[in-house]
Structure formats: structure tokens, C-alpha cells
Structure 1
Amino acid sequence: MRIFISTGEVSGDLQGSLLITAMQRQAAAAGWKLEIVALGGEKMSKAGATILGNTSGIGSMGLLESLPYIVPTLLVQRKAIAYLKQNPPDLVVLIDYMGPNLGIGTYMQNNLPDVSVVYYIAPQEWVWSMSLQNTSRIVAFTDKLLAIFPEEGRYYRENGGNVSWVGHPLIDRMQDAPNRQAARTTLGIAPEQIAIALLPASRQQELKYLLPIIFQAAQTIQAKLPQAHFWIPLSLDSFREPIAAAIQSYGLQATIVSGQQKEVFAAADFAITKSGTVNLELALLNVPQVVVYRLNALTVWIARKLLKGSIPFASPVNLVVMKEIVPELLQEKATAENITQAAMELLLNPERRQQTLTDYAQMRQCLGEVGVCDRAAQEILQMLNKV
């Protein structure tokens, strides 16, 4: 059975790898052999996919920020469509990655209508859609939509989608995370030491817009809490050099780690982080956090004019329950001073920390039960069975 998977960025590569692992396990149990070709990254390759184009570093947030990626995105989309034309698969799975996947989905609808298309982790139209145009396109070319958030499922179902809510895959991923003591032993962190995770970037633009303010805040926190040590898990190895240079420039007591993100999260007392999937990972490990995000000022001005303040939250932790569980410091509010203030509150105020943990527990109820990737894989393989 031949499956084509299309996703991009660091988070898509992670989600794709989890799904591939579950599909391969179930297919083997059923006596099937899967051939998986994909747009993705190293994690998906290790899980058994043949990578047609590496898209883990192709991605941005914002209008102007996306300009450098237009040509690489069009090229990889064109490569995918050429492959699909020459090698029609039995099934196509799209994971997030809205721009290219809209093009691929539309191509499948117009040229290979007999090949089923599954959208897993659909674009967050339910949060920031300006019109139903893209929603209608997604519903039109998708035979099955596997929703990870209850609100996402409701939105697409109400707009005509064939939807199954499977839950959020990070529920599965965090099952094998080490406990605090084991993680600290692995990383060599003393029980009494304050460990703070810094997560400034998974996209190139974030090194420019987020790293300086996060590191400035870390510098101030270090002055207030000299016993604190910062841990920075790399999302892409290419970020090591600029981050190492920034650590030296800001004089931080910090350690860069690669391939031990779960250990850092499990060991951390607190995190200062960009907005994204990583917020949910931290929440599932009960790490209080401050979420920071900045875009180009012109991008923000355009977005505010178009969206008119319709985006309620940026962090998925807050979006799940539509209330502020973790502080969000966005754009003008994303200053080193504000980050420091919010950080010290969560680090030193036991009541504030406890409220965060209580809210995390409520949020967790909305993410589904363990077995998400298996449920998603089962839905996909059932569609293959009909081929």
C-alpha cells in the first residue's frame, strides 16, 4: 500500500513521525507492507518514510516573514505534484502546512479524484479564518478530517467536513517522558538547582524577533536568581551557532542540548517559550511557562486591520479552553521587562504556580485519551482497506 504524506516545519516532522510509527505497527500486525513517501524531515525519515523533500526548515509565521520561503515552498509543492502525477498513491495524508497542502489537496481533487485524501491536524481556520474560502477548499478535497482539538472538529463538521476527533498526539508522545528526578539525573542537575528552559526558536525568523528579548529577560532573571541555570533544547541543529553566540554575548549560565528536549522539559522548574506546539508539551509535564511572540510590525498592522482582533489567543494551551492559562506576551507586550516580571511571579509565587497546574489539569481533559496516534492510524488504514 502506497501512502504519500505532506507536512512541513519542525512540528509537522514530529507529528508525521509519530503517525508513521503507529501506521507501520498496525500495518505489520495486519500483514500489510506500507511504502511511505513524504515531504517532511529527519524524524519522519527515521520512522520509515522516504523523504521526497526536506521541509522541516521551510516555514514562517506572518506575511512579510513568509516572503523568503515562497520560492522554496513553490518548488517543493511542484516536486510533490510531479511525483504524485507519475506515481499515484493509494492514499494521501496532509498534516498542517497550510500553503503547500492546499495546493496538493486541490491537485488531488482535480486530477486524481479516486485517491482518498485525509487531513490530519487541519489548519487552524477555526481560530483565525477571515472567510470560509480556505475552509471550503479543505472540506471539498478532504475525504476524512482527523481533528486533534474538540473545537476544531466542531468547526469543520459544521462546515460540511467528514470529521473524526482523535485527540492530540502529544498525549501519546509525553507518555514516555522521564520523571523530574530521572531527567535531572540524566542532565546532571542538582535537586535544589533552579532549571529554566528557554525555547526561543523553531523558525529562522524567531532568532531575530524572539531570541534577543528572551535572552535579555534571562540575563535579568540570572541577576535576581544567581542559582538559576538555563537549558536550551535545539529544534534545528543549524541554530546552534547563533544561540551559542547569544549565550556568550548575554553572559548566561546556559547549556545547549540536542535530542534531549523531553529531559529538559521534565527537569525544568519554568520555561520562557515561543508560541507553538511546545507550549502543550510543557503543560503536559506541568511546567509553568510564559509565552512570547513577535512579528514584523507591518505584518501585525495588516493582520489587525484584516482580522480586527478576532484571534483570542496565540498559545494552543489557552486556545484549548479559550481562557488564559499561561501568560501571553505578544508584540508590544513582548518586552524583556514584562517577561521578567511574569517569570518571577511564576517562579516565586506558590499560589500562582498552583493555579497554573490546576488549569493544566483542566486543559488536559480536552486533549483526549492515550492512543491518539493509534486511533489516527486506524482511521487511515481503514480508508486504505477500501481501496
Structure 2
Amino acid sequence: MAKRIFMSTGEVSGDLQGSYLVKALLAQNPDLEIVALGGERMAQAGAKLLANTAAIGSIGLVVEALPLVLPTLKIQRLAQQYLQAHPPDLVIYIDYMTPNINLGLYVRKHFKNIPTVFYIAPQEWVWRSNPTNTRRIIGISDLILAIFPVEAEYYKSYGANVEWVGHPLIDIVQPTGSPPDLRREQGVVPEEKVVLLMPASRTQELKYILPDLFRGARMLQERLPGLRFWLPLANPKFKETYIREAQTNNLNITYLPSCDYTALSAADLVVGKSGTVNLETALLKVPQLVLYRLSQATYLFLKYVVRFSIPFASPVNLVTMEPIVPEYLQEGTDAENIARESYDLLTNTARRETMLQGYDRICEHLGSPGVLRRAAAQILKLL
């Protein structure tokens, strides 16, 4: 009888990482049945989708999270009902901290003998703000598969059973086409510069980051009249807003149907929000500027009430805990800063070279190829 694995994740990034893991598991055991809370990428990879959680996720507190509470609770109840009716042979959690902790506590209470794995554990190793969450993550996990060495060290220090497998992007990130060919197809002549804009994967990012990003792009265009912008339109719910803002700022812009690794490689600079795309950009050796912004209410609460602070926001800088790429957060994401910093990254050869050298150091800390194969093997061994 085929073994059944239940996987739980949320948001666009979780769906992406989950899809890689689904493919790796099925490559080693095609008879597996994988049922998931995830997104379309996981479904395309071979998982049976119980509910779509790819659009459910926020960074922040009540202001950002409140609209997602009821959908999340509904999906949690659905997952619990499914688990009761169809107990799996193993459960995998991917990031998505609060929902996965709640689901994990439920699994521990009702299915004590089912092995559990946390793959890409929540970034408590960065925040270090709530030891209770760290202990809960460890308590619901028979095994944590870490993607960063510092992540593995952190959870081990709390007594967790941890294996460092490396970062899955090592296996994934490579252009599928020719970047020079793409530039020619888009009518970019050799002397022209291309800036790829990556404003959002969440609605809140669209609201807080996009206006200043596009105003900054307009100011940059005024300083470099021959500049070209590329903007991926992969997410249909953001499309109208993107186009309207681009037209308002009169940008010299080309819309791409998606943002693949060829497009990232073909750009001279990537400017966008903090997230997985930062590491992808680093692995492709393209200079970048990272932005992030929360609602003002959340920011003030974190700063003055919780006194919450992190060393860096971008995963690029977190790998070696050094400022390899510039980060502009909260008030720093204003248009003037974006334009000034982007101009310098496009024209300052020495600074670009320093950033590329930093990327080389990052690669040394992300592991060797075969990450997904190793992760799948560890999971199947536990199964």
C-alpha cells in the first residue's frame, strides 16, 4: 500500500519550496501519495491539494493579519478533519510559523506515533524574539531539515534533532535560456541598462512598497534617460495596479509574462522587496537593492512596545550576517533613496564588484548540489 505524506505550507514562497520537495520525494518514491496545504506549483509537481494557501500570508501584526484569520482557521479545521479521516504516514511542515505550529500541536495530540519533519523552519534563528515559539517548533518536529548552517546551529542549541541539508536554490537556480538573447529579443542595445522591478508577492507589499518604488524608478529614469525597466506580470491580481502605476510615472517599461532565471540574469540591477528572490538574484550574480515596509502601526508596535529588532531583513545578508546588499526598510524606502542607491549600483563599478565578491562568500555557506535529493532521502528514511 502506498505511503501517504501530508505537507503544510502557505504563501507563494512556501508553495515554491514545497513544489521542489514534492518533485524530489516522488523522484525517489513514485508511489507516494502526497496531500498538501499549498498552491498550484505543488499541485503541478504532483501533490493533491487539500486547500490553496499560497495567497494566505502576511508580515506584521493585526493590521496585516486580521483579514487572513478567518480563511486560515477555516483551512486549519479542514486539515484536522482530513487528518482524522485519512491519517498520514508522515507530516511535513514548511515555514508558515503560526498555522504550522497550531497544526503541529494538533498532530502531536491526536497522532502521537506519526513522524513529523519541519523543512525550512521559521526564522526564529533570526528574530530570537520568542523562545516559546522555538520550543514549540522543536516539540512538533521529530526532525528539522535546516537550509542554513546558522539555522541548524540555533535549533541544535535548543536540543532539536537537526540535519543541515543546504539551500534548495543551489539545485534550482540557473538560466533556462540565453540572457543576451533575451535582451536582444526585448530590443535592448548593448549600451542600455535594464532594471528589473520586483515589487510584491503579497497584497500588503503592493500597498506599502509599490508607490515609492515606481516614483523612485521615475526619478532614476530622469537621471539615466536611456534606462529600461522590466516588470514581470506573473500574478494576475497585481497586473492592473502595476500597469496603472507604471503609466502614472511614465516609465520606459517592458512587461514580462513571468520572472524566470533568464530574465533575472539579463538585468543589470534588480530592485524589489525582501524575500527568496534576493537569494536567487545573488546566485545569478546580479547586483540588487532590497526594500521592505510594514504598516506604520505594526512598525511602531514592534519598535517601541516589543522592542523587536533583526540584524538584517534580506536572506542574502542573513547567510553570513554581513551587509552584502543594501537594505532600505520602512521610512528608508522613499523614492529619493531608491533612485540614488539604484543610480550608484548601476554606475559604480567598484561597488558592483564588491557585491559580487560578497555573493561568492554566500555560495560557500549554502551547501553543495544535491540539496533536494538529500532532504528527500532524510524524509523517506524517517518514513
- Report the residue type matching 1:328 in the other structure: E
Contact 1:200 1:273 in 2 (8 A): yes
Offset at 1:235? 5.0
- The equivalent of 2:86 in structure 1 is 87
What's the secondary structure of 2:29's corresponding residue? helix
- The equivalent of 1:34 in structure 2 is 32
Contact 2:8 2:100 in 1 (8 A): yes
The separation in 1 between residues aligned to 2:43 and 2:123, in whole angstroms, is: 26
Alignment of 1:196-215 (within 5 A): 196-215=195-214
Of 8, 11, 17, which residue of structure 1 is paired with 2:19? 17
Greater Cα offset, 149-158 or 297-306: 297-306
Residue 46 (structure 1) aligned with residue 44 (structure 2): yes
Contact 1:237 1:258 in 2 (8 A): no
Offset at 1:258? 2.8
The separation in 2 between residues aligned to 1:191 and 1:10, in whole angstroms, is: 34
Offset at 1:256? 2.4
TM-score by length of 2: 0.96
What's the secondary structure of 2:200's corresponding residue? coil
The 3 A distance-change label for structure 1 pair 91 and 180 is same
- The equivalent of 2:246 in structure 1 is 247
Offset at 1:186? 5.6
The separation in 2 between residues aligned to 1:58 and 1:188, in whole angstroms, is: 38
What's the secondary structure of 2:365's corresponding residue? helix
The separation in 1 between residues aligned to 2:266 and 2:175, in whole angstroms, is: 14
- The equivalent of 2:357 in structure 1 is 358
Structure 2 gap ranges (5+): none
The separation in 1 between residues aligned to 2:257 and 2:169, in whole angstroms, is: 19
The separation in 2 between residues aligned to 1:52 and 1:354, in whole angstroms, is: 46
CA displacement 1:269-320 (0-9 Å, x = unmatched): 0011101111101111111111111111110111113553531100000111
- The equivalent of 1:331 in structure 2 is 330
Offset at 1:332? 1.4
**RMSD between aligned alpha carbons?**
1.4
Q: Percent identity, aligned pairs only?
A: 50
The separation in 1 between residues aligned to 2:194 and 2:343, in whole angstroms, is: 13
CA displacement 1:127-180 (0-9 Å, x = unmatched): 113221011111111011000111110000110110000111111110354453
Alignment of 1:225-264 (within 5 A): 225-264=224-263
The separation in 2 between residues aligned to 1:172 and 1:105, in whole angstroms, is: 29
- The equivalent of 1:6 in structure 2 is 8
Contact 1:10 1:235 in 2 (8 A): no
- Report the residue type matching 1:127 in the other structure: V
Greater Cα offset, 249-258 or 340-349: 249-258
What's the secondary structure of 2:304's corresponding residue? helix
Offset at 1:102? 0.6
Residue 298 (structure 1) aligned with residue 260 (structure 2): no
The separation in 1 between residues aligned to 2:178 and 2:246, in whole angstroms, is: 28
TM-score by length of 1: 0.95
Offset at 1:17? 0.6
- Report the residue type matching 2:27 in the other structure: R
Alignment of 1:146-185 (within 5 A): 146-185=145-184
Greater Cα offset, 300-309 or 115-124: 300-309
Residue 269 (structure 1) aligned with residue 271 (structure 2): no
What's the secondary structure of 2:5's corresponding residue? strand
The separation in 2 between residues aligned to 1:228 and 1:60, in whole angstroms, is: 33
What's the secondary structure of 1:202's corresponding residue? coil
Structure 1 gap ranges (5+): none
Residue 342 (structure 1) aligned with residue 344 (structure 2): no
Contact 1:106 1:141 in 2 (8 A): yes
What's the secondary structure of 1:12's corresponding residue? helix
Residue 99 (structure 1) aligned with residue 101 (structure 2): no
Contact 1:128 1:307 in 2 (8 A): no
Residue 117 (structure 1) aligned with residue 119 (structure 2): no
Greater Cα offset, 231-240 or 53-62: 231-240
Residue 142 (structure 1) aligned with residue 144 (structure 2): no
What's the secondary structure of 1:57's corresponding residue? coil
Offset at 1:182? 4.2
Offset at 1:185? 4.6
The separation in 2 between residues aligned to 1:336 and 1:353, in whole angstroms, is: 21
Aligned length: 380
The separation in 2 between residues aligned to 1:284 and 1:178, in whole angstroms, is: 16
Contact 1:193 1:227 in 2 (8 A): yes
The separation in 1 between residues aligned to 2:156 and 2:303, in whole angstroms, is: 28
The separation in 2 between residues aligned to 1:4 and 1:189, in whole angstroms, is: 46
CA displacement 1:242-268 (0-9 Å, x = unmatched): 111111111111122233422220110
